[in-house]
Structure 1
């Protein structure tokens, strides 16, 4: 599959090589703030815990940037050095939920200029299914890295550009949130007018791994997407949207991220919202 993924046996092998990757544990789910506790209960040996809310995002800013704005590049660089990342060293990220959270780290580090960032396909579950060892407790403090980051290696769009886009706008939240039947966190329910719904869970197979490229192309074709499409992706706050961008890349299609996503859009009362299918 695409080189944005690595399987568990290959990761285990590279971790024993002379140039092992930095492995980041990015456990986070909407409504579950106990990611670090889950990490302490069991993680890939040597993995560094990353806090999505504070290290992979700037503070929430409502109509200015949404619930998870992109972090300042200097802050992200300082965090990446705390994690032990050096220039030219590969990075592998994972979580325990189909990479729905880890994809944020994958996208963000690539946006910041790190070329070799991969997700562990199937996440922690795939590691355990392969019979590989996990560690408990605090993983310790890694030595400081020296990586230098620069923003903008992947494309993004602003809220005004979303409002004027002539391309395909994908809302990758669950269908009930897209339709406006429920809204657990954002100011208004519904979706950005004209958006098409493509829930991120459809990117995965029953084992929590990304579906094969051909299957993803068929799914995206049903949404009118092909290699020539101009696709902009959003979700609630720019986290799961990164997962959709990964799925589109596996299928061979480029896409741009709207980082503020619906949390930013719905916080501005002057922006229209639609409900229903």
Structure 2
């Protein structure tokens, strides 16, 4: 199944009353909680999913957004109405940063019918489609979490991939170079990693670039389907966006879920700075 769905296609499904589970996962690293945006307006029938509470485990040495326990994720998705045989469409404000993490998580835990609304809530409203402040009636789902359906990396695997394959750092160039670090206690990057900020995966409208342009972008960094490729970021959220973009480009890739927040939790891990 193609990982993206456009606004007209989703509107068509909803008009035909095709069974779709809509998940609103708006989330802001800095700013008001996503639930506040949801309460001000959301797609009709959409259920709010909290990225910090429902899509990640408790922060700690494993990272700021580690993988949740299978049972916890299963319970959260069932509360949201997720069923094994029903299409799930996830969205956030616009650029799919949070939506990509939920897309990846559902795929990792075994749901194979998941799509991201390209352009998110902004694209939906700009097209003139209705929103609501009503809370939907949710029938509990039957989703069963079956972890391990997508490749992941730990710190050792990320270090090895940086040497023998291509490890992409999805953070901003300033954070990659170690010039600033607004969240984690140490600035810099994993030695051997290559910087590919997720902002370069989308246009100004928040929609993903065409696959040909994404292939060109990643190819310039050495990432092709002929090599082992992985991605990380600060805590495993924007790196999932990188995985989705790589998927669109036809390049399979593994996610270092713990990412930089896990890497720097061990002072024995080396840290690089600068462009190289």
Superposition pairs for residues 216-227 of structure 1, below 5 Å?
Answer: 216-227=214-225
Partner of 1:49: 48
Partner of 2:63: 66
Partner of 2:229: 231
Could you tell me how far apart the structure 2 residues matched to 1:33 and 1:130 are?
25
Task: Say which is worse superposed, 33-42 or 99-108, in terms of deviation.
Answer: 33-42
Moved over 3 A (4+): 16-19
Could you tell me how far apart the structure 1 residues matched to 2:17 and 2:43 are?
18
Partner SS state of residue 153, structure 2: coil
Structure 1 residue 159: deviation in Å?
Answer: 1.1
Give structure 1 stretches of 5+ with no counterpart: none
Give structure 2 stretches of 5+ with no counterpart: none
Does structure 1 retain, via aligned residues, the 8 Å contact 2:94–2:205?
no
Structure 1 residue 160: deviation in Å?
Answer: 1.5
Could you tell me how far apart the structure 1 residues matched to 2:49 and 2:63 are?
20
| 1:127 partnered with 2:152 | no
Could you tell me how far apart the structure 1 residues matched to 2:53 and 2:35 are?
12
Partner of 2:100: 103
Partner of 2:84: 87
Structure 1 residue 19: deviation in Å?
Answer: 3.4
Partner of 1:153: 149
TM value normalised by structure 1: 0.96
Partner SS state of residue 177, structure 1: helix
Does structure 1 retain, via aligned residues, the 8 Å contact 2:190–2:271?
yes
Partner SS state of residue 78, structure 2: helix
Superposition pairs for residues 1-277 of structure 1, below 5 Å?
Answer: 3-62=2-61, 65-136=62-133, 138-165=134-161, 166-277=164-275
Structure 1 residue 18: deviation in Å?
Answer: 4.6
CA RMSD, aligned part only? 1.2
Deviations 1:219-270 (A, max 9, x none): 1111012220110100000000111111111111100000000000012111
Equivalent pairs, count? 273
Does structure 2 retain, via aligned residues, the 8 Å contact 1:191–1:275?
yes
Could you tell me how far apart the structure 1 residues matched to 2:243 and 2:82 are?
24
Structure 1 residue 132: deviation in Å?
Answer: 0.2
